[in-house]
Amino acid sequence: MATEISVVDLARCIADGQAPFILDVREPAEFTGPLGHAPGALSIPMGQIPTRVAELDGVRGGTCYCICLSGGRSGMVAEYLSQQGFGTVINVTGGMKAWNAAGLPCVHE
């Protein structure tokens, strides 16, 4: 099981000046949709992760926070990336639903 973090704790990291690497694994329409996305998040849909994993090599030894709509897909991606040798991969519990419910800043584009 992947390590998990709450949206509030992740937002605190951002507010404290850290620049965490956030991987949003939702579909493009979700990423740009009504819930928006976390500031600085990179969008790679879950189904594309195996063929695009090389794009993540720059964070292989660091920490990667995976987020989706509610935490299911991001949990699976976190497990997959851990199996692929990524250092610290953390699932954001509750996903963008929890992010929005907490009133955290979102990017809408």
Catalytic residues: 66
Query: What is the Cα–Cα distance from 38 to 24, expressed in whole angstroms?
Result: 8
- Report yes or no: 67 and 22 within 8 Å, Cβ to Cβ: yes
- Both structure tokens of 104: 């955290």
Residue with token string 């996305």: 37
C-alpha neighbours within 13 Å on the C-beta side of residue 64: 29
User: Residue 22's beta-bridge partner residues?
Assistant: 65
